[in-house]
């Protein structure tokens, strides 16, 4: 049964592109109209992404929808490919975008121009990066995503935000240059930009073309890992994410996942099951990133910086799990990706509500805020523009506790299930004997447990300082519109735990598709052109 025609594959790119461009024609005073357009665009994206996912997953056989732009034959065509993994990422992006834009409605879309257009263009870049099967267009969508993120990271102004934002821009411009040079070298070695065609030609290369391909792939991997935030390429991430506005930081949780997705997609598509990008290097980098994030989390005196370190902890866990490169571990890591992305996004928004009305001095216990780059920015004037939620502190406290359970990895929520799936895949009875990979399995298991303990200590300390024994009692003025996005994300996390069985089956199928690239190659290179209309020629 088909839920979506092949032409719908391009819709996740066109919908936000048209919505973002249309909103540029309206004055900033037409904010309500822009909000309606944004929400309509996001709901349309969610519907399209869900239809694509149902089509590729419920047909009873491995399937990918392939859209040939311009109707050129493969591999000449610039193709868009919606398989299980790409469709899951599209659904996650749309599901995360709605709470973020809802949260921004209360105040953040009013403190700078073109917020809604930039947000829609960010969705264009994210969706395009997940769908494209062409290296150069992957670069194009990366740049669309980054260009929009440059405006969003600076949204709201302030010296700390500008300083961190300019650092973020400089690092990503350098990564884009490395990315472009890597693409040029891969094209020079293989004569193609189609990822499926590159994978086919990689085994038969001879002479100078083979080392040229390896150098090009190494440069691509470096660009992806900068975006993913692997240590030591991650020092831009914490300042930029912790300085960004709450809804911006929430949706930025997806940006690091684009680098990880691109690395996973291309690494497993090429021969060697990840060897082309150095699975051992990726594992070591992920393990060190996880350790670095744990130390940074313990040292954080600001909850917003701690939120950013949770992004690094997520990236480190994913890279380490993917570095082992077994289907069960990949599926568990994908489940962890869903859980951690939703939880960290909600945590960014919740922390902003808690911190914005606290006295800055109350956060200074042992180390000054200035030592960590915080406390220099003058917060925007708080204006109550909606109905204030009663018992707001209690609601935020319950939300904090639930998010802590997910981020630590305690039962019964999805964080525990994700870590359990990874540990079962690498150490469980069905894991088998992987010889040399046994050391990696053990290290990953230890790091997962230690990082959970670190998160428990850090979040317990934050909870005590904020809710139990604050230096100065406070009563946050939280509106219903601001609390609703956090509650929506919490509901998604609960639903993810309740539906863990079907979701895990989907992710296991996606992991099998990744580790058996012949299915992807067959779908892309065997894609049929649309027949000409009745009166036309070939």
Element at 360 (helix H, strand E) = none
| 20-50: pLDDT as tens digits | 999 888 877 787 888 889 999 999 999 999 9
Residue 366: the pLDDT is 35
| 496-516: pLDDT as tens digits | 999 989 999 999 988 888 888
Residue 12 neighbours by CB under 8 Å, 6+ apart: 45, 48, 49, 52, 90, 127, 131
Mean pLDDT for the stretch of residues 139-154: 90
Mean pLDDT for the stretch of residues 157-173: 86
Q: Contact 261/253 with Cβ under 8 angstroms?
A: no
Residue 530: the pLDDT is 67
Residue 249 neighbours by CB under 8 Å, 6+ apart: 241, 242, 304, 307, 308, 348
Q: Nearest-5° angle of CA 180, CA 316, CA 53? A: 70
3-state secondary structure 229-267: CCCCCCCCHHHHHHHCCHHHHHHHCCHHHHHHHHHHHHH
Residue 204: the pLDDT is 78
Residue 58: the pLDDT is 80
Closest CA to 374 of 358, 387, 386: 358
Residue 24: the pLDDT is 86
Q: In DSSP terms, which residues pair with 479 in a beta bridge? A: 388
Q: What is the Cα–Cα distance from 277 to 60, expressed in whole angstroms?
A: 32
Look at residue 376 and tell me whether its pLDDT is greater than 50.
no
Look at residue 95 and tell me whether its pLDDT is greater than 90.
yes
Look at residue 12 and tell me whether its pLDDT is greater than 70.
yes
Residue 483: the pLDDT is 85
Mean pLDDT for the stretch of residues 200-223: 84
- Alpha helices, DSSP H, located in 300-391: 303-324, 327-355
Q: Contact 130/93 with Cβ under 8 angstroms?
A: yes
Look at residue 534 and tell me whether its pLDDT is greater than 50.
no
Mean pLDDT for the stretch of residues 355-361: 58
Q: Contact 277/263 with Cβ under 8 angstroms?
A: yes
Q: What is the Cα–Cα distance from 163 to 185, expressed in whole angstroms?
A: 34
The torsion region of residue 470 among left (phi > 0), alpha (psi -120 to 50) and beta comes to beta
Q: Nearest-5° angle of CA 322, CA 457, CA 377? A: 90
CA count, 13 A, side-chain hemisphere, 154: 15
Look at residue 491 and tell me whether its pLDDT is greater than 90.
yes
Q: In this predicted model, which residue has the larger pLDDT, 530 or 449?
A: 449
Helix 500-515 / helix 255-269 crossing angle, nearest 10 deg: 50
Residue 322: the pLDDT is 86
Look at residue 384 and tell me whether its pLDDT is greater than 80.
no
Q: Nearest-5° angle of CA 370, CA 372, CA 373? A: 65
Please, what is the average pLDDT of the chain? 82
Residue 463 neighbours by CB under 8 Å, 6+ apart: 397, 400, 401, 404
| 414-450: pLDDT as tens digits | 889 999 988 888 877 655 555 556 777 888 888 889 9
Residue 490: the pLDDT is 93
Say which residue the tokens 């917003």 belong to. Answer: 304
Look at residue 62 and tell me whether its pLDDT is greater than 60.
no
Q: In this predicted model, which residue has the larger pLDDT, 369 or 53?
A: 53
Q: What is the Cα–Cα distance from 400 to 487, expressed in whole angstroms?
A: 11
Q: In this predicted model, which residue has the larger pLDDT, 496 or 520?
A: 496
Q: What one-character-per-residue DSSP string does 262-289 give? A: HHHHHHHHSTTTTGGG-HHHHHHHHHHH
- Which of 56-70, 144-158, 365-379 shows the lowest mean pLDDT across its residues? 365-379
Look at residue 83 and tell me whether its pLDDT is greater than 60.
yes
Residue 432: the pLDDT is 55
- Alpha helices, DSSP H, located in 409-479: 414-427, 438-463
Cis peptide before 232 (omega within 30 of 0): yes
Maximum Cα–Cα distance across the chain:
78
SS3 55: helix
Mean pLDDT for the stretch of residues 198-210: 80
Residue 529 CB neighbour total at 10 angstroms: 13
Q: At 313, is the pLDDT very low, low, confident or very high (cuts 50, 70, 90)?
A: very high
Residue 497: the pLDDT is 92
Q: At 13, is the pLDDT very low, low, confident or very high (cuts 50, 70, 90)?
A: very high
Look at residue 379 and tell me whether its pLDDT is greater than 60.
no
Residue 429: the pLDDT is 66
Look at residue 457 and tell me whether its pLDDT is greater than 80.
yes
Look at residue 77 and tell me whether its pLDDT is greater than 60.
yes
- Which of 197-206, 336-345, 355-364, 423-432 shows the lowest mean pLDDT across its residues? 355-364
Residue 362: the pLDDT is 46
The DSSP call for residue 466 is I
How buried is residue 381: exposed, middle or buried, by Cβ count under 10 Å (0-12/13-18/19+)?
exposed
Q: Alpha-carbon Rg of the chain, whole angstroms? A: 23
Q: Six-digit token pair at 184?
A: 């040029």
Residue 302: the pLDDT is 82
Look at residue 469 and tell me whether its pLDDT is greater than 80.
no
Distances (CA, A) of 16 to 46, 90, 116, 120, 285: 12, 13, 10, 5, 35
């Amino acid at each position: 049964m088909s839920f979506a025609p092949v032409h719908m594959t391009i819709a996740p790119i066109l919908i936000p592109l048209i919505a973002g461009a249309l909103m540029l024609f309206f004055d900033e005073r037409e904010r309500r109209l822009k909000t309606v357009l944004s929400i309509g665009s996001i709901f349309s994206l969610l519907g399209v992404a869900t239809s694509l996912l149902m089509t590729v997953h419920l047909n009873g056989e491995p399937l990918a929808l392939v859209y040939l732009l311009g109707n050129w034959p493969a591999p000449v065509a610039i193709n868009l490919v919606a398989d299980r993994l790409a469709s899951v990422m599209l659904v996650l992006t749309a599901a995360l975008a709605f709470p973020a834009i809802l949260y921004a409605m209360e105040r953040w879309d009013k403190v700078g121009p073109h917020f809604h257009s930039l947000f829609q263009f960010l969705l264009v870049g994210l969706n395009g990066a997940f769908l494209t099967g062409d290296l150069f267009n992957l670069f194009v969508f990366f740049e669309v995503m980054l260009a929009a993120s440059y405006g969003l990271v600076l949204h709201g102004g302030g010296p700390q935000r500008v300083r961190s934002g300019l650092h973020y821009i400089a690092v990503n411009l350098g990564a884009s240059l490395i990315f472009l040079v890597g693409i040029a070298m891969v094209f020079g070695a293989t004569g193609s930009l189609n990822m499926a065609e590159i994978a086919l030609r990689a085994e038969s290369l001879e002479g100078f073309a083979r080392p040229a391909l390896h150098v090009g792939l190494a440069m691509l991997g470096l660009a992806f890992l900068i975006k993913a935030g692997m240590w030591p390429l991650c020092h831009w991430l914490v300042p930029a994410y912790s300085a960004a506005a709450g809804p911006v930081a929430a949706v930025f949780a997806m940006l690091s996942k684009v680098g990880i997705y691109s690395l996973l997609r291309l690494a497993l598509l090429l021969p060697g099951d990840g060897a082309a990008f150095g699975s051992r290097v990726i594992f070591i980098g992920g393990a060190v990133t996880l350790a670095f994030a744990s130390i940074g989390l313990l040292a954080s005196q600001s909850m917003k910086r701690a939120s950013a370190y949770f992004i690094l902890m997520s990236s480190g866990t994913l890279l380490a799990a993917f570095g082992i490169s077994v289907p069960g571990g990949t599926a568990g890591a994908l489940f962890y990706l869903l859980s951690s992305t939703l939880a960290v996004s909600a945590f960014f928004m919740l922390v902003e509500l808690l911190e914005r009305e606290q006295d800055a001095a109350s956060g200074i216990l042992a180390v000054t805020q200035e030592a960590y780059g915080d406390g220099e920015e003058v917060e925007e004037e708080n204006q109550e523009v909606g109905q204030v939620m009663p018992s707001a502190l209690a609601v935020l406290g319950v939300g904090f506790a639930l998010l802590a359970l997910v981020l630590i990895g305690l039962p019964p929520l999805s964080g525990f299930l994700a870590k359990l799936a990874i540990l079962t895949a690498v150490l469980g009875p069905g894991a088998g004997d992987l010889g040399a990979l046994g050391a990696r399995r053990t290290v990953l298991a230890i790091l997962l447990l230690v990082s959970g303990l670190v998160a428990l200590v850090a979040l317990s300390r934050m909870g005590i300082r904020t809710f139990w024994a604050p230096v100065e009692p406070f009563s946050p003025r939280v509106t219903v519109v601001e609390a609703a996005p956090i509650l929506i994300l919490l509901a998604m996390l609960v639903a993810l735990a309740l539906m863990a069985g079907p979701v895990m089956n989907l992710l296991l199928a996606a992991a099998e598709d990744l580790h058996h690239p012949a299915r992807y190659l067959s779908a892309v290179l065997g894609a049929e052109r649309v027949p000409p209309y009745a009166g036309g020629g070939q």
